[in-house]
Amino acid sequence: MPVRPLDAIDAAELHYPEHLPVVERREDILAAIRDHQVVVIAGETGSGKTTQLPKMCLELGRGVHGQVGHTQPRRIAARSVAERIAEEVQVELGGSWATRCASPTTAATARASR
């Protein structure tokens, strides 16, 4: 699969799997993101929230230099999501899509979790 810089992606080239519930509501979600500073979207597991919402943000031109962030509770999940989205938009992971994990731990917090 050829990779390209993220800024070379045209919104018309983004592919959305039609079977996902989030994609079925794409126009409503795009309007909400476009019209509001904060949008909360709830849906079932597997509905496409994690993989399709970042692409919708890119479609709207959101993000700094084409970068849209997402959070996951575990590093492996964050890495898997970043890999999946990079594959879907055909960009190289680490060039445009990356993971960053910070785990500030002190001796006191380490003892408290035992």
CB atoms inside a 10 Å sphere around CB 82: 20
Q: Residue 6: which of 81, 101, 100, 94 has the closest Cα?
A: 94
**Any domain includes 107:** no
**Any domain includes 110:** no
Residues 103, 99: Cα–Cα separation, whole Å: 13
**Any domain includes 105:** no
Please work out, in degrees rounded to the nearest 5, the angle formed at the alpha carbon of residue 102 by the alpha carbons of 9 and 44: 60
**Any domain includes 106:** no
Token representation of residue 1: 């699969």
Number of structural domains in the chain: 1
**Any domain includes 20:** yes
**Any domain includes 1:** no
**Any domain includes 35:** yes
HEC string for 79-95: HHHHHHHHHHHCCCECC
User: For the whole prediction, is pTM greater than 0.75?
Assistant: no
- Domain around 27: 6-100
CATH code for the domain of 43: 3.40.50.300
Residues 90, 86: Cα–Cα separation, whole Å: 6
**Any domain includes 108:** no
| pLDDT per position as a tens digit, 77-107 | 888 888 888 888 887 776 555 556 666 666 6
Least confident of 6-15, 27-36, 42-51: 6-15
Cβ–Cβ < 8 Å for 14, 59: yes
What's the farthest any 2 CA atoms get from each other in the chain?
Answer: 52
